[in-house]
Structure 1
Amino acid sequence: MKDIGVDSPVNRLRSRAPGEVSMTALLERAARERPGDIFFTHGDEAVGLDEFNRLVNRMARNLQQAGVTAGVHVAVMMDTGRDYFATWFALAKVGAVEVAINPAYRGELLAHQLRQSASMIAVIDEEYLPNLATAAGEVDDLRTVVVRGDSWSPFEVAGPSRSWSGFDRLLAPQPEDNLGLEVPPDSIGGMVFTSGTTGPSKAVLLSQHYMAAYGLMYAEVNELDESDVILNFQPVFHMTGKFVAIAALAVGGRMHVMSRFRVTGFWDEMRAFGVTNVVAIGGVCNMLLSVPATPDDTDNPVKVVYAVPDLPELHTEFEQRFDCVVTTVFGSSEVGLPIFRSPADVYAPGSAGRRSPHYEVEVVDGFGAILPPGQVGEIVVRGRGPLLLCSGYNGQPEKMLEATRDLWFHTGDRGRFDDEGNMWFVDRATDSLRRRGENISSFELESQIARHPAVAEAVAVSTPSELGEDEVWVLARLREGFSVTPEELLQHCETVLPYFMIPRYIEIVEDFPRTPTAKVQKYKIRAQGPGVATWDREAHGWFIRGRKLVREATERTMP
């Protein structure tokens, strides 16, 4: 790893006390030392550091007046932009807990996340109120709803009475100097939801220090400094959307926000805003390579592309075509970025890189014994410093105990090291799926499909996507005497699932391969792959466009 100076991200994280590494400390230091600098651009908007910090202070005082204080859980369901970033930082300044929820969730899936997080307040864009309406009747803790928009009205749902207000309440005039509140570094500042496997998804607890340290580690991986402009198209309810913002603050660089990733005009936008660092997760590299090459492909400002996954069959082609360096990591919401390859590291095709200086990482067998290089086992992690792992799972302390054995956090992922210390991710030891950068709980997916009256049992597995990561393949066993077509089951999925969970492949089966104790053998289904009996929605003209399922005329449409 390249030595990038005394004040490099790695040294900032190593040498400073945990209290100096927090969202609030990083923002206030940046606003104090560089008040005239731009924090981020978003379309035609350019937001300065001092301007943003003053906005956050005003919102924090309005949150306090509304009763949002240390430890209060606040669900946020908003699109990426200035208001979401400011809400997130304002909650951090008062010591509240931001519960990051994907606004595409609805029904029981959304109700579960609101219940699991014990959210008392929701801040939501008006376009997502219909989603909240499908779930709020099943949630008793939610008492206050703050809506951003101009044409909304409270909805009637069963359950306790709720207060309603507009987002402008948080923007009302207040003193704009720093609050000066002491928020302990180990206090919980946020929750994100991770994939569930044998049960519903869990709310990962993120300490104030851990969230800030994550951003410093991202800056370290990509060797960023004050000259960098970092692209952020990830929603703020993702860890990626969060740590990119913190990285920009930490190194004195700038962030450019793209509301949603789009291939068309991508490189023109990179040139227009001078973007030097791009997060490319969920098949982004595949999508950019799918566009026909042009003579000016190398004429762009991007120096480093952070790709997860970094597919070896695309790595060299991408670097050469776009004249950049590709970095990668192994990490998660629970364990940070313990394995990475920086621009200065030697490329080992298919490897996720080598151990971070901030973590110990090993591969162990089923008894917890460390395996030698070359042998595949479970990846386990522990931090070399304080507060470099998540703080557990909200309301489920037993789940953290299950994951933490012999002083190691067991990731549930399998991998191997080589003799040089490079690590290869082999597969998931769990039944979770990952599609276009979204983690998907097979348990939750299966439970929602099984709500269809014709379905007796559903199984969701991954199958490789041509864009990298997974496509979702659902197999359904029907109740005796019932019938349903794959297309009818797809339309059911649209009503109960967020867009990214909607399966591409659907298959009606008599039964599944099973163990002698009747457990479904998913590995056999995955090994077999979709066959002639598998219905492909894209072949029948159904596509996910703009976060919605739509029917399109296509030459691939079959009778």
Structure 2
Amino acid sequence: MPNTNPARARDFTDPRIPNRDECVLRYLVDRWAVERPDKVHVVWEDGEEWTFADVRRRITEKAAGLEKLGVRQGDFVAVWLPNGRDALLAFYAINYLGAVFVPFNTAYRGNLLAHVVANSGAKLIIAHPDLVGRMGEIDRAGLAQLVLTTQGDAPDVGLEVTRFDDLAGDAVSPLDRPIQPWDIQSIIYTSGTTGPSKGVLSSYLHMFSNAGPESWPMVGEDDRYMCVAPIFHIGGMGPPFVMLARGASVAMVESFSTDRFWEIAARTKATVVFLLGVMATFLMKRPPSPEDRNHTVRKAFMVPLTDDAPAFTERFGIDIYTIFNMTEISSPIVSEANPVKRGTCGKARPGVEVRLVDANDCEVPVGEIGEMLVRTDRPWGMNSGYNRNPEATAKAWGNGWFHTGDAFRQDEDGYFYFVDRVKDAIRRRGENISSFEVEVEVCAHPAVREAAAIAVPSEFSEDEVMVVVAPVPGQAIDVPELARFLIDRMPYFMVPRYIRVMDELPKTPSAKVLKADLRSEGVTADTWDREKAGMRVRRESFAG
């Protein structure tokens, strides 16, 4: 939110750096509590509303309580909670002190839990009692204090225990120094699909740039963003912050529900939602209902953009936008409303530079596939590296550009198209195949809920294409019929040879499919082989 008030002096001479009260949580909370005390900032799923004045009162009380436990500016504080009031209060209170919010995925356990505990460097953790028992199974590294939420009991894991409900204080002490836009605001852990999760160091300015006015100009101060993603994920902790930066409101929902999505959106008066492509698919595969337009939502971010996006707009009465983003960057690719180009992610937004390069960081020609590299013209506009992992930081930031690990192509009009994770590309008989594009076609089948395309060894050379699919609840997948469906839709070289059906695809704690696990399992005993079934696909021939 640019500083348009001439009466307010600028904090910084660099015009690319917004004022502290435009991008730093503590000063935003203080500002809106004065300027908009009665405006609602948070609506909960059960209908309870918190105004900006309520928010400031609640979080300063918790911040004062954390300060009594020894939390100071710059400390890392772990939070291990499901979505809810306690999680949001913890997030805001930690940042209000100038400390660093370090959320853990509620599915963590064992070696993964031990890894993030050690990597975080946190001495205090705020946790739900139902999760605490898992800490008894690991080395708790430097953890010394446990703050328990709710009234439930938890096993003794050798930590000093305080109740979250008992955190209170009359006032927060003055800061040692002003909290700066470039100070670290959070550590968000990546999915760990190829190795141990990396802790992404994010500044306040990174979070502001991630979905601020330059990145998402279509979202304004009168909008209400319905957040259904977990708060330990960038998709869950980002929305409250970016709506706070706008002096706007957020509807906090426990989790995504296909059956209740529109009813919750209507009840909370949400105007903006974020939909993973699979969520949009779930909603489209529900039977049509008179309630499909009985809601207040007017804008949705759909990632990735599905082929039935125009039908989604028509059915639900919503303008669709799409973006490309990841935890480490700040929405460099954003589309216009209702993009007509199939499969696009949009164009590079103002303030970012984007290049597509080969393995040597040399740019590829327009139309060819290359890894996407990104940098911003705003200092601290992207991640500040990986916590306690200088090797990964140096590798990701090679040659002064952030390497996304994602392969794209760009058309002559400047639109970008996601092709694949670089590590997930498939090469079959001289053809490069995008696993993403295979998955899009497979998920177009009405009985398929989700799909993962992987490469498996061929008895000849290179790869064969295999897809692992899960059915829509209450339906069964007829595998030969699915193969015939795909033969009619796909180039011959993309048609999967192998199809395996599972009830659920294996996922990381942040719900990304574990393709590495599927590749290691390979062609299992329950995998259907199209060629052994006598269903061969031949190269098309054309008469001249």
CA offsets per residue over residues 52-81 of structure 1, 9 Å max, x none? Answer: 112211222221221111222211011212
SS at match of 1:297: helix
Q: Quick check: 1:254 aligned with 2:249?
A: yes
Query: Corresponding residue for 2:170?
Result: 174
Contact 1:93 1:183 in 2 (8 A): no
Query: Corresponding residue for 1:163?
Result: 160
Larger displacement relative to structure 2 (45-54 or 243-252): 243-252
SS at match of 1:430: helix
- Measure, in 2, the Cα distance between the counterparts of 1:430 and 1:342: 30
Query: Corresponding residue for 1:225?
Result: 220
Change over 3 Å in CA distance of 1:463–1:222 after alignment to 2 = farther
Query: Corresponding residue for 1:278?
Result: 273
Q: Quick check: 1:532 aligned with 2:528?
A: yes
Query: Corresponding residue for 2:444?
Result: none
SS at match of 2:288: coil
- Measure, in 2, the Cα distance between the counterparts of 1:89 and 1:505: 36
Contact 2:215 2:332 in 1 (8 A): no
Aligned partner of 1:209: which letter? L
TM-score, length-scaled by structure 2: 0.75
Runs of 4+ displaced beyond 4 Å: 3-7, 12-16, 176-181, 431-435, 461-467, 497-507
Query: Corresponding residue for 2:109?
Result: 106
SS at match of 1:132: helix
Change over 3 Å in CA distance of 1:98–1:197 after alignment to 2 = same
Contact 1:104 1:131 in 2 (8 A): no
Contact 1:22 1:213 in 2 (8 A): no
Contact 1:193 1:203 in 2 (8 A): yes
Contact 2:210 2:329 in 1 (8 A): no
SS at match of 1:353: strand
Question: Shift of the alpha carbon at 1:290?
Answer: 1.4
Given candidates 189, 193, 196, the residue that maps to 2:185 is: 189
Aligned partner of 2:189: which letter? F
Aligned partner of 1:33: which letter? E
- Measure, in 1, the Cα distance between the counterparts of 2:385 and 2:468: 30
Q: Quick check: 1:297 aligned with 2:292?
A: yes
Change over 3 Å in CA distance of 1:505–1:429 after alignment to 2 = closer
Q: Quick check: 1:428 aligned with 2:421?
A: yes
Query: Corresponding residue for 2:336?
Result: 342
- Measure, in 1, the Cα distance between the counterparts of 2:161 and 2:512: 31
Change over 3 Å in CA distance of 1:177–1:233 after alignment to 2 = farther
Question: Shift of the alpha carbon at 1:28?
Answer: 2.1
Q: Quick check: 1:318 aligned with 2:322?
A: no
- Measure, in 2, the Cα distance between the counterparts of 1:14 and 1:322: 40
Aligned partner of 2:40: which letter? I
Query: Corresponding residue for 1:397?
Result: 390
Contact 1:57 1:178 in 2 (8 A): no
Q: Quick check: 1:49 aligned with 2:44?
A: no
- 1:362-511 to structure 2, matched below 5 A, reads 362-430=355-423, 463=468, 500=511
- Measure, in 1, the Cα distance between the counterparts of 2:77 and 2:467: 33
Question: Shift of the alpha carbon at 1:35?
Answer: 0.4
SS at match of 1:234: coil
CA offsets per residue over residues 174-227 of structure 1, 9 Å max, x none? Answer: 23798695112222221111133553111111112212332415x842612232
Question: Shift of the alpha carbon at 1:275?
Answer: 1.5
- Measure, in 1, the Cα distance between the counterparts of 2:525 and 2:378: 43
SS at match of 2:423: coil
- Measure, in 1, the Cα distance between the counterparts of 2:470 and 2:516: 11
CA offsets per residue over residues 513-544 of structure 1, 9 Å max, x none? Answer: xxxxxxx8x9xx59x9982389xxxxxxxxxx
- Measure, in 2, the Cα distance between the counterparts of 1:415 and 1:250: 31
Q: Quick check: 1:199 aligned with 2:218?
A: no
Aligned partner of 1:294: which letter? S
Contact 2:300 2:318 in 1 (8 A): yes
Contact 1:54 1:177 in 2 (8 A): no
CA offsets per residue over residues 252-311 of structure 1, 9 Å max, x none? Answer: 322111111112232222222221111112511011111101234233321111111111
SS at match of 1:221: coil
Query: Corresponding residue for 1:142?
Result: 143
Question: Shift of the alpha carbon at 1:498?
Answer: 5.1
SS at match of 1:112: helix
Larger displacement relative to structure 2 (51-60 or 23-32): 23-32
Change over 3 Å in CA distance of 1:338–1:277 after alignment to 2 = same
SS at match of 1:391: coil
Query: Corresponding residue for 1:552?
Result: none
Contact 2:369 2:407 in 1 (8 A): yes
What 5-or-longer segments of structure 2 have no aligned partner?
Answer: 6-10, 426-434, 440-465, 473-499, 531-544
Query: Corresponding residue for 1:34?
Result: 36
- 1:326-337 to structure 2, matched below 5 A, reads 326-337=320-331
Question: Shift of the alpha carbon at 1:465?
Answer: 6.0
SS at match of 2:308: helix
Aligned partner of 1:208: which letter? Y
Query: Corresponding residue for 1:89?
Result: 92
SS at match of 2:345: coil
Aligned partner of 1:354: which letter? K
- Measure, in 1, the Cα distance between the counterparts of 2:52 and 2:146: 29
Given candidates 22, 25, 28, the residue that maps to 2:27 is: 25
- Measure, in 1, the Cα distance between the counterparts of 2:309 and 2:318: 10
Change over 3 Å in CA distance of 1:91–1:44 after alignment to 2 = same
Contact 2:330 2:381 in 1 (8 A): yes
Aligned partner of 1:393: which letter? Y
Question: Shift of the alpha carbon at 1:168?
Answer: 2.2
- Measure, in 2, the Cα distance between the counterparts of 1:318 and 1:234: 21
SS at match of 1:44: coil
- Measure, in 1, the Cα distance between the counterparts of 2:196 and 2:512: 14
Q: Percent identity?
A: 27
- Measure, in 1, the Cα distance between the counterparts of 2:334 and 2:265: 25
Contact 1:75 1:119 in 2 (8 A): yes
- Measure, in 1, the Cα distance between the counterparts of 2:64 and 2:28: 19
Query: Corresponding residue for 2:153?
Result: 152
- Measure, in 1, the Cα distance between the counterparts of 2:372 and 2:470: 25
CA offsets per residue over residues 479-538 of structure 1, 9 Å max, x none? Answer: xxxxxxx9xx999x99xx85957979998xxxx8xxxxxxx8x9xx59x9982389xxxx
- Measure, in 2, the Cα distance between the counterparts of 1:232 and 1:173: 30
SS at match of 2:331: strand
Task: Supply the RMSD in Å over aligned alpha carbons.
Answer: 3.7
Change over 3 Å in CA distance of 1:502–1:279 after alignment to 2 = closer
Question: Shift of the alpha carbon at 1:109?
Answer: 1.3
Aligned partner of 2:384: which letter? S
Change over 3 Å in CA distance of 1:98–1:529 after alignment to 2 = farther
Contact 2:132 2:154 in 1 (8 A): no
- Measure, in 1, the Cα distance between the counterparts of 2:369 and 2:514: 30
What 5-or-longer segments of structure 1 have no aligned partner?
Answer: 436-460, 468-485, 513-519, 535-559
Q: Quick check: 1:123 aligned with 2:126?
A: yes
Aligned partner of 1:38: which letter? V
Contact 1:102 1:237 in 2 (8 A): yes
Query: Corresponding residue for 1:359?
Result: 352
SS at match of 1:406: helix
Aligned partner of 2:113: which letter? L
Aligned partner of 1:406: which letter? N
Question: Shift of the alpha carbon at 1:325?
Answer: 1.0
SS at match of 2:92: helix
SS at match of 1:305: strand
CA offsets per residue over residues 1-24 of structure 1, 9 Å max, x none? Answer: xx99979xxxx9975536342222
Contact 1:22 1:211 in 2 (8 A): no
